[in-house]
Each structure stands twice: as C-alpha cells, then as structure tokens.
Amino acid sequence: MSELLAYIVITVGLAFDVFGTVGLVRLPDIYNRVQAATKCVTLGTCFILLGVAIYAFGHGLGAMCVKALLCAAFVLLTSPVGAHAVARGAHVSGVQLWEGSVMDKYKDDFGQPEKELDDHER
Amino acid sequence: MTFLDLTLAVLVVSSFLCLYRIAKGPTAPDRTVAIDILGTLLVGFCCVFAILHKQDWFMNIAIVWAMMSFIGTIALAKYLQGRFYDE
C-alpha cells in the first residue's frame, strides 16, 4: 500500500521534472528558462524525495526516510535562492531580454545593464 | 523492467536535455542554470537509486551533492556579477 502511494508521488515528481527540463530547452531567453526550470524541477525533486521517504518508511528503513525528508527541505530552501542569484547576475552582466518581453522592473529600479556584450564575450 | 528502472530512465532523459542546454546555451547564465538544474535532477536520481538497491549511503551522496551544487551556483552567480566570492 505504501509502495503504491510512493510510486504515485514519484510519478507526479517525474512529470514536473520532465516538463521543467523541456522548458529549459524550449523557452527563448535566460529569464524565461530560469523561472520555468527552477520552479518545476524544485517541486518535482521534492515530490520524488517525498515518495522515497514514503517508500523507505513503508519498508522500515528509518534512517533513509529521515535523510530523504532532510534533503527535500534543503533543496526546497536552496534551489530558488541559487536561481534568484543567477538571474540577477545575468541582468547585471548585461544579458538582454527576449524581444517579446513587455516589462523590466529591475531596469526601472536599478538602471540599464552596464554594457552590451558580444557573443564571444559572454 | 520495474517502475524504478523506468524512473531512472526518465531522469536520464531529462539530464540529457540539461546537457543539451549546457552545450548549446548562448550565454554563461544559461549554462549556469542548466548546471544547477542538472545537480537537482541528480539528487533525485541518487535517492531513487538508494531505494532501488536498498543502500543507505546513496542518500548521503544526495545530501552532499545538494549542498555542493548550491555553493557552486552561488559562486558562479557572484562571478557573473563581476564580484569576488567574499563580497
């Protein structure tokens, strides 16, 4: 019973992971990619870890269950922080937005990116 | 082929999509994000591997990998902003 529940939760997480990486490949610029990939893959990996914890709990592997929950909490805390830092670094280092973008609040607050880089400088 | 084998196969396919973005990505932040996502995917891979083989220590690898991936992403983001690592 716990095995079936764990498999269902792991399947949901896998679906999130696959859609996140498809977004990473298909979307047009860095800011779109960062929001699609980070949100989907963080939630998907947390679901996988939750499924692993349920499976381990059902099979009497207590240490594995606790480690899976710890790992899920850590991923849930750190992955969005890293993505936010990378997105800000991209804007500061002068990566331009996609031409279909309609709004740039960061530029309104902190000004234009300092320089526009050539392709080989990025 | 059991369910967990299929899970590992799907995670490997997702990792190859990340590797495509690392190889092709036109700017450095693209590659940084793809490396971060690849690390997160590998954490899930290690955990599924742990319950597939009933080996406890794969979970230790997953936890350490999550921490190292976070530190690496923060360091690369600092580098992208043109600052040093202790600022």
- CB pair distance less than 8 Å for A25 and B60: no
- B58 belongs to a structural domain: yes
User: Å from A116 to nearest chain B CA?
Assistant: 12
- CB pair distance less than 8 Å for A78 and B14: no
Dihedral angle at the C-alpha atoms of A32, A34, A37, A41, nearest 10 degrees? -150
Q: Kindly state whether B61 is in contact with chain A, defined as any CB-CB distance less than 8 angstroms.
A: no
Which H helix or E strand runs over B15?
helix B3-24
ipTM surpasses cut 0.95: no
- A23 belongs to a structural domain: yes
Query: What does pTM read for this prediction?
Result: 0.87
Contact A64, A56 (CB under 8 A): yes
- CA B86 from centre of chain: 24
User: How many structural domains are present in chain B?
Assistant: 1
Give the domain extent around A64: 2-86
- A30 belongs to a structural domain: yes
Q: Kindly state whether B51 is in contact with chain A, defined as any CB-CB distance less than 8 angstroms.
A: yes
Q: Residue for token digits 């960062």? A: A34
Per residue in B9-67, pLDDT (tens digit) is 999 999 999 999 999 878 888 999 999 999 999 999 999 999 999 888 999 999 999 99
Give the domain extent around B32: 3-80
Q: What is the CA radius of gyration of chain A?
A: 19
- Give the residue from chain B lying closest to A114, CA to CA: B81
In the structure encoding, which two tokens stand for residue A116, read together?
A: 């526009």
Per residue in A72-119, pLDDT (tens digit) is 999 999 999 999 999 988 888 888 888 888 888 777 777 665 555 555
Q: Nearest 5 degrees, angle CA A109-CA B27-CA A20?
A: 85
